[in-house]
Amino acid sequence: MSDLPPRTEAGLAALAAALTPRVIEDTRRLVDISTPSGALEEAERAIELCAALLEGWQLTRPACSTASCAPDLLATRAGSGRRRLLFLGHLDTVVGHGEHRPAQARGQRLYGSGTADMKGGVALALAVAGAMAERTEDYAELAVLLVCDEEWRLAPFAHSARFANYDACLCFEAGEVDEQGRDGVIVRRKGAGTLRLRAHGRPAHSGSAPDQGRNALLALAHAAIAGAAVADADGSSRLTVVPTVVRAGEAINVVPASGELIFDLRADDTAAFGRVLEAMPAAVGGARLEPIMERVWPAMDSRAAAAPLLAAAAALLGRPLIPRSRGGASDASHLAPLVALTVDGLGPRGGGAHTPKEFLHLPSLPERLAVALAVARAALAPG
């Protein structure tokens, strides 16, 4: 591909068009492997496929942040330049083996589990990384990090320190357009938190002796309402508080003695999560409540650092590139505090993530490849 250098608008478009068939095929092959978080054998198959696409790179398998998952894949390539650039993605999905849907093209869409989140993005990232690697004089080091636990990680992200001296991090979650149809990339994400509330009550016969019980389910219901009331989506931190899972009770005629409630928390400043904890009652009707903050992912705000990069990339593209915000968290959030120039949402466009109707929009691939090539080229340009 060296005769199609991504340094001009025409060169970007030509290279993107040349890479598109490969990205479609690689996406198909990845999607056909069911890889829910924690699936060891299947994760190894997906990693083997990706490793085969990284010929000439140094491959290592660092331990995953989640001990029960397969080791992650880290590929590096040394050059003679000065800048260091990370391509970041994940191979796991939220869809279990029983609900997995293999790749199937229908019209302008490629359906399948993980097409949008984010195997299409991984395939695109590998193609762009390969294109950038051809010019060794442009970089000191390129790295591709593919993790196996992004969809459900409770432990701290294990790899941040490894990339603290990098100049830029590019993450390939699904892309999007703005209200005018202009290509966008993500430079701002909310922080995310998972609050688990455990209720400890007392069982009793719900017909003959209900007053002798301490109803864990009733306590959790009160807590769900109290937590949701703290939400302030239009406030300074844009805090949202959503009860998502509740479990309690074992029989239709027994006062529930235990249970748990899970909240999904999002905010521009994770300190706002403290207000939710403060709103949790210590007990309701004699049932004790135990709050546990299981996961806190930092917020990401790269708007200022990314502005010159997006302007340079837009000049290469010959069209605007719009900075966008997204409520969902990603691994880019963990890198952003250490790598100021962190940009996400560089994958293809799609929809239906985490649902049986998940799809990748095939006509978006050449456009999104050109966007990613332009951003990568601009990130490697001398500062």
- Tens of pLDDT along the chain (383 residues) come to 444 455 677 889 999 999 999 999 999 999 999 999 999 999 999 999 999 999 999 999 999 999 999 999 999 999 999 999 999 999 999 999 999 999 999 999 999 999 999 999 999 999 999 999 999 999 999 999 999 999 989 899 999 999 999 999 999 999 999 999 999 999 999 999 999 999 999 999 999 999 999 999 999 999 999 999 999 999 999 999 999 999 999 999 999 999 999 999 999 999 999 999 999 999 999 999 999 999 999 999 999 999 999 999 999 999 999 999 998 889 999 999 999 999 999 999 999 999 999 999 999 999 999 999 999 999 999 86
Give the integer Cα–Cα distance in Å for 293 and 284: 20
Parallel/antiparallel/unpaired status of strands 84-90 and 141-147: parallel
Domain assignments of the chain as residue spans, ordered by start: 9-190+299-380, 191-297
Give the integer Cα–Cα distance in Å for 346 and 157: 21
Residues 273, 278, 284, 286, CA torsion sign:
positive
Bridge partners of 59? 75
Same-fold call for 9-190+299-380 versus 191-297: no
Predicted pLDDT of residue 3: 43
Predicted pLDDT of residue 10: 82
Give the integer Cα–Cα distance in Å for 104 and 359: 9
Give the integer Cα–Cα distance in Å for 118 and 110: 13
Give the integer Cα–Cα distance in Å for 191 and 207: 45
Residue type, 107: G
Q: Report residue 367: phi and psi, to 5°.
A: -65, -45
* pTM summary value: 0.91
Give the integer Cα–Cα distance in Å for 117 and 93: 7
What tokens appear for 219 in the block? Answer: 């306590």
SS3 308: helix
SS3 7: coil
Predicted pLDDT of residue 328: 81
CA dihedral angle for residue 55, residue 2, residue 383, residue 191, rounded to 10 degrees? -50
Parallel/antiparallel/unpaired status of strands 183-189 and 322-326: parallel
What is 9-190+299-380's CATH number, 3.30.465.10, 3.20.20.100, 3.40.630.10, 3.40.50.2300?
3.40.630.10
Q: Name residues whose C-beta falls within 8 Å of residue 37's C-beta, 6 or more positions apart in sequence.
A: 66, 69, 92, 93, 94, 148, 149, 150, 151, 152, 153
CATH class of 191-297: alpha beta
Total length of the chain: 383
